[in-house]
Structure 1
Amino acid sequence: MNPEMNPNIRKGRLRPLITVAIVLVFVLIVGFNAVSTVQYGHVGLYKTFGRLNDSVLEPGIHLKIPFFQSIIQVNTQVTKAETDTSASSKDLQPVSTHVAVNYSVDKSTVFNLMNNIGGAYDSIIINPAIQEIVKEVTARYKAEDLIGQRELVAGEISELLTKRLAKYDLIVNEINIVNFKFSDAFNQSIEAKQVAQQQALKAENDLKRIQIEAKQKIAQAQAEAGSLKLKKQEVTPELVQLKQIEVQEKALEKWDGKLPSVTGGATPFIDVGQMTGK
């Protein structure tokens, strides 16, 4: 019988190969589990048997104990948290505020944050803090002032939130009040007030225009009266006589030497000598 056809012999030859393959697979698994990568914009912390190590790992490849140790990653980039808050203004108007907060984690103290709060710090710390502080600041202002002094309101919220989150090593980078939403009745009253203000402004502008036009007419009339007065002052008997002479001279220049024909009635008397200067 051919030895190569013997099943026992074939199995005996395959066993070393199978063993080597198993060892290689095990080594590969162990190798993969012995290395971990911390992504850019993050820092890492070793977690061994559920316990965190306070050594902060920078982005890059790091070794770890396979199966017993892991590396948790914490995002240190600027992150946005958006929250809707319902509150009442100083004049008891219901106000819904949509706030966007940009924050980041201080990587030098990330161990304290993760060890004391955990990875859900946004829902445990940030959102409740935003809710409470927005309600507190909103209650200090009347509803109309919330609209007209939005930057001041945002500044107060940012100041209080910065102090609150600093206790947990969280950094507030920027806060924006995206929108204030009021009741329909309040919106209608604001609209009516704006319309009334616009009408009052138009009436005031019309009154000013009428006053200016009236002053212009008075000034024009005064100017015309002054001009007429000056003209009257310039008219003297000598000027009247001179004008009469100018009229007579123009009449003589146009006269053709013939007496006018008259039908019926008396012949008009004309002093020819006076006209010819004899």
Structure 2
Amino acid sequence: MELNPKFRGRRAGRLIGAGAAVLLVLVIGGNAFTTVQYGHVGLYKTFGKLNDSVLTPGIHFKIPFIQQVIQVNTQVAKTETDTSASSKDLQPVSTHVAVNYSVDKETAFTLMNNIGGNFDTVIINPAIQEIVKEVTARYPAEDLITRRDLVAGEISDHLTKRLAKYDLIVNEINIVNFKFSDAFNQSIEAKQVAQQQALKAENDLKRVQIEAKQKIAQAQAEAESLKLKKQEVTPELVQLKQLEVQEQAVEKWDGKLPSVTGGATPFIDVNSLSGK
């Protein structure tokens, strides 16, 4: 038995309507929830207007097709800036600075509502440029090199106060590099060479002085020893030494007298005296 064409049309229409309803529910349901990622906070945006309710990481409901959720990164981020300025002694210096910063979770709405998402180029980089120029102008060029930590600390203090007005947190600042003119670099190198040579000459002088003192001390010790030895020599000791020498001579004598003597004494034939 065949179905009435009219009935078949109605049935098909109902199926299509049911499918469309299911599809609509799925689309609406899929747009009714959103997820705020870890390390971020969310802000509702309704018809272009931000809501000051801050959403924590996780799943949140939103009105489909009417609301959207803007995610704001609250993790530590980094920006790097090159700044050209002059030192206190008017040496041109280029400074490469790296700044680690983060967004305050509690005040993300204020930042996004007043500045927007490009706050790094609108607020942070111009502030770094201005403050680095201001601080480097207070120091001679050589001090920028030898007192880098102090310079970085001063820049960090000023930058922290400046960005706090916009609810931005400065976590760390690093002066990656100072770059000076070739003429200044050559003068620094020449000064270092001169200092090294002066230090070597000073060390050599100290070594010579020490050696001279050692020789004087040694000579004084030898003189003192000789003096003590002379004090130990007495007439009795001399006589004793003479007796020791004579005894040694007698022990070594073979019993024969010398046949010839020299000097003013006439020659004497010892054999003739003995009758041989």
TM score, norm. by length of structure 2: 0.89
CA distance in structure 2 between the partners assigned to 1:25 and 1:75 by the alignment: 34
**Counterpart residue identity of residue 96, structure 1:** S
C-alpha contact (below 8 Å) 1:3/1:9 kept by paired residues: no
1:238 is displaced (CA, Å) by 2.7
Count, aligned residues: 266
Residues 115-174 of structure 1 show CA distances to partners (whole Å, capped at 9, x for unaligned) of 111111111001100111001001000110011111111111111111111111111121
Structure 1 counterpart of 2:177: 179
Unaligned runs of 5+ in 2: 262-266, 272-276
Structure 2 counterpart of 1:21: 19
**Counterpart residue identity of residue 158, structure 1:** S
CA distance in structure 2 between the partners assigned to 1:65 and 1:3 by the alignment: 47
CA distance in structure 1 between the partners assigned to 2:18 and 2:110 by the alignment: 46
Residues 157-216 of structure 1 show CA distances to partners (whole Å, capped at 9, x for unaligned) of 111111111111111121111111111211111111111001001101111111111111
1:259 is displaced (CA, Å) by 4.0
Which residues in structure 2 correspond to 1:102-181 (within 5 Å)? 102-181=100-179
CA distance in structure 2 between the partners assigned to 1:169 and 1:38 by the alignment: 21
1:235 is displaced (CA, Å) by 2.5
Give yes or no for the alignment of 1:35 onto 2:19: no
Give yes or no for the alignment of 1:48 onto 2:50: no
Structure 2 counterpart of 1:273: none
User: Aligned-pair RMSD on alpha carbons?
Assistant: 2.3
C-alpha contact (below 8 Å) 2:44/2:53 kept by paired residues: yes
1:7 is displaced (CA, Å) by 8.4
**Counterpart residue identity of residue 177, structure 1:** I
Moved more, 238-247 or 201-210: 238-247
SS in 2 for 1:16: helix
CA distance in structure 2 between the partners assigned to 1:75 and 1:154 by the alignment: 26
Structure 2 counterpart of 1:3: 2
SS in 2 for 1:37: strand
- The verdict on how the C-alpha distance between 1:131 and 1:268 changes in structure 2, with shifts beyond 3 A counting, is farther
CA distance in structure 1 between the partners assigned to 2:172 and 2:134 by the alignment: 19
**Counterpart residue identity of residue 166, structure 1:** A
Percent pairwise identity: 80
Moved more, 225-234 or 42-51: 225-234
C-alpha contact (below 8 Å) 2:259/2:268 kept by paired residues: no
Residues 4-59 of structure 1 show CA distances to partners (whole Å, capped at 9, x for unaligned) of 8x988766544333322222222111111111111111111110100111111111
CA distance in structure 2 between the partners assigned to 1:243 and 1:183 by the alignment: 85
Structure 1 counterpart of 2:220: 222
- The verdict on how the C-alpha distance between 1:196 and 1:267 changes in structure 2, with shifts beyond 3 A counting, is farther
- The verdict on how the C-alpha distance between 1:228 and 1:68 changes in structure 2, with shifts beyond 3 A counting, is same
